[in-house]
Amino acid sequence: MRYDAGEVITAMVTPFNDKREVDYEKVESLAYHLINTGSDAILVTGTTGEAPTLTFDEEIEILSSAKRAAGTSGKVIMGTGSNCTETAVVTAKRAAKEGADAILSVVPYYNKPSQSGMIEHFSAVAESVDLPVILYNIPSRTGVNMLPETVKTLARKYENIVALKQSCSDFDILTEMRTVCPSDFAIYSGDDSLTLPMLSLGAHGVISVASHLFGKEIKSMIRNFKTGDVMTAKNMHLKLYPIFKKLFMAPNPVPVKAALAYKELIEDYVRRPLVELTKAEKADLIFTLDSI
């Protein structure tokens, strides 16, 4: 494998205080908690981290806080994607300067670029830094799907394009990606509920939301599958499946922040246009959480 960020990468939330300012102490304490509860790496300033509402300066300070917490025990990846190629390049360069271990770069959203446009976009990002680049394909949010041939072209052309976060339940596309991409190119599930079936098609691991709460369990599921104990892996998947789904009962990261607040790890504040769960929604979520 050309670059291994581990099997469980947590897409970390950004803690806010009651003024909806970034709580950097909680950023640090949450990152430390994640690294010590099953996460091999943490991804900051992604969608789960409410990146669209963060300033550049906030993003850099979040990265610095997470790196202090992780130390040498885990990698810190920074989400640097944008639907503007120039902005994506500038942010990638800032991530490199500030010591990110790798970057995650999403397919440009809203613009709906062609496949050739995606190649030009990610080529510009890859050529701008020496950091490992993880591509992120999430058609439900971007409005366009990055196809296997596009991923293959980028993975074969750029040694530092090392992995793909795939948030799409089309397993034919996943199979084709695994077939055409280099063997040392890692594919990660971008949805907790799809991790186990994606492992069966050659995925390396997951970029997870549920690992905020069940990192060790998710890590054991992956390890058991890879060492041949498929039944135990399946049973863990079935056990965690209700919370996998419940964490998306409202727009991410609203439910996982409510769950973390219930566990007294952070407050559940989110930035607008997101809103916190209602009392009834919180009760529903906590019932599922306590049932695991």
158-199 tens-digit pLDDT: 999 999 999 999 999 999 999 999 999 999 999 999 999 999
Please state at what angle helix 211-226 crosses helix 24-35, rounded to 10 degrees. Answer: 20
- Residue 88 · residue 121 · CB < 8 Å: yes
User: pLDDT class for 21, splitting at 50, 70, 90?
Assistant: very high
Counting every residue, how long is the chain? 292
Report whether pLDDT(238) > 90: yes
User: pLDDT class for 263, splitting at 50, 70, 90?
Assistant: very high
Residue 101: the pLDDT is 98
User: pLDDT class for 211, splitting at 50, 70, 90?
Assistant: very high
pTM: 0.97
User: pLDDT class for 233, splitting at 50, 70, 90?
Assistant: very high
User: pLDDT class for 157, splitting at 50, 70, 90?
Assistant: very high
Residue 279: the pLDDT is 98
Residue 68: the pLDDT is 97
Segment 26-54 mean pLDDT: 98
Residue 118: the pLDDT is 98
For 202, counting Cβ atoms within 10 Å of its Cβ (0-12 exposed, 13-18 middle, 19+ buried), the class is middle
Segment 89-97 mean pLDDT: 98
Domains of the chain, each with CATH number or no CATH? 8-227 (3.20.20.70)
Residue 259: the pLDDT is 98
User: Where in the sequence numbering do the catalytic residues fall?
Assistant: 136, 165
Q: How many Cα atoms sit within 13 Å of 206 on the Cβ side?
A: 31
Find all residues with CB under 8 Å of 74, minimum gap 6, and list them.
6, 34, 35, 39, 40, 41, 42
Segment 9-24 mean pLDDT: 98
- Residue 229 · residue 284 · CB < 8 Å: no
CA distances from 110 to 83, 89, 234 (A): 7, 18, 37
Residue 2: the pLDDT is 86
User: Both tokens of residue 239?
Assistant: 């056990």
User: Both tokens of residue 15?
Assistant: 């803690």
Residue 1: the pLDDT is 82
Residue 262: the pLDDT is 98
Segment 52-79 mean pLDDT: 97
Segment 253-262 mean pLDDT: 98
pLDDT above 70 coverage of the chain, percent: 100
Segment 235-253 mean pLDDT: 98
